[in-house]
Amino acid sequence: MNSDKIKVLYIGGAGRSGSTLLDLILGEIPGFFSVGELRSIWDRSIEENQLCGCNHPFRECAFWPQVIQRAYGGVEQVDTARMQALHDRVARFRHIPLLVGGRGSPDFRKDLAEYTAALEKLYRAIHEVSGGQIIIDSSKNPSYGFVLKTIPNIDLHVIHLVRDVRAVAYSWQRQRVRPEVHWKQEYMPRFKVTHSVREWYRCNVGMMMFKAARTRYMFMKYEELVRQPQAAVDNIMRHMGFPEPPPAFLADRCLTLTTSHTVAGNPLRFQRESLTIQADNEWQQKMDRRQQRWVMALAWPMLLGYGYWGHPEN
Question: Shortest CA distance to 159 belongs to which of 114, 235, 218?
Answer: 218
pLDDT score at 274: 84
- Which sign, positive or negative, has the C-alpha torsion 220, 51, 193, 197? negative
The number of C-alpha atoms within 13 Å of 23 and in the hemisphere containing its C-beta is 35
Averaged pLDDT for residues 115-139: 98
pLDDT higher for 313 or 260?
260
Q: What is the pTM of this model?
A: 0.96
Distance (Å, whole) CA 33 – CA 167: 28
| pLDDT above 90 coverage of the chain, percent | 88
pLDDT tens-place string over residues 149-169: 999 999 999 999 999 999 999
DSSP string, 27-51: HTSTTEEEEE-GGGIIIIIIIT-PB
- Domains for the chain: give ranges and CATH numbers: 6-280 (3.40.50.300)
pLDDT tens-place string over residues 260-296: 999 999 999 998 878 899 999 999 999 999 999 999 9
List the end-to-end C-alpha distance of the chain, in Å, as a whole number.
39
Strands 254-256 and 274-276: antiparallel
Averaged pLDDT for residues 106-128: 98
Contact 34, 139 (CB under 8 A): no
DSSP 152: T
